[in-house]
Amino acid sequence: MAFKAGKIIHAQLGAARGLKAIYRMLAWTEASFEVMALREVQEDEGIPGRIENILLESARQKDEIDRLEKKTLLLGKTLYANPDASPQTPIQQDVIPVAKNGIDMKSLLDRVPYPDLDVYQAVLSLIEKGHLKTEG
């Protein structure tokens, strides 16, 4: 994470960037941090200015993901897209091609660039509409 003038201007965790990376880091139960001088980084778009809002939203999303996972157990399943699927939202349009040949939920969360809660909700909607099926 990179900060400038008290604001988060960049976050990256593996392939995850921006809010997705921030929310994942804030969900860790253990971590250690090292403060270093700011190097040149490209500022991420879509990171809201107030850290307090990010902290609250991160906690809300973690609680909601935990609730959904407890109910659906999607992390242990493989998802397959129906060849006739017609996704309606931009997130669904990203999920369907990734799940075309089958993909486990964790890998799907890593590949789709939206926050994990948004991906969970899109996946559940696609399953409900018959555009995705689960196995495992």
Instruction: Read off the pLDDT of residues 13-66 as tens digits, 9 standing for 90 and up.
Output: 998 999 999 999 999 999 888 888 877 888 887 787 788 999 999 999 999 999
Tell me if 22 is assigned to some domain: yes
Task: Say if residues 102 and 79 touch (Cβ distance below 8 Å).
Answer: yes
Query: Which helix (H) or strand (E) element contains residue 64?
Result: helix 51-72
Evaluate whether 132 touches 95 at the Cβ level (below 8 Å).
yes
How many separate domains does the chain show? 2
**Global pTM?**
0.85
**pLDDT reported for residue 83:** 92
Q: Is residue 66 part of a domain?
A: no
Q: Tell me: do 92 and 130 sit in the same domain.
A: yes
Looking at the structure, tell me whether residues 11 and 33 fall in a common domain.
Answer: yes
Domain that holds residue 48: 2-61
Is residue 78 domain-shared with residue 54, that is, in the same domain? no
Query: Which token pair is 7?
Result: 């604001």
Domain's final residue, options 19, 34, 61: 61
Q: Is 38 in the same domain as 14?
A: yes
Select from 40, 61, 82 the last residue of a domain.
61
Same domain (yes/no): 80, 102: yes
Residue with the larger pLDDT of the pair 31 and 98 = 98
Considering the domain architecture, whether residues 19 and 57 belong to the same structural domain is answered as yes
Taking the alpha carbons of 120, 47, 54, 17 in that order, is the dihedral positive or negative? Answer: positive
3-state secondary structure of 135: strand
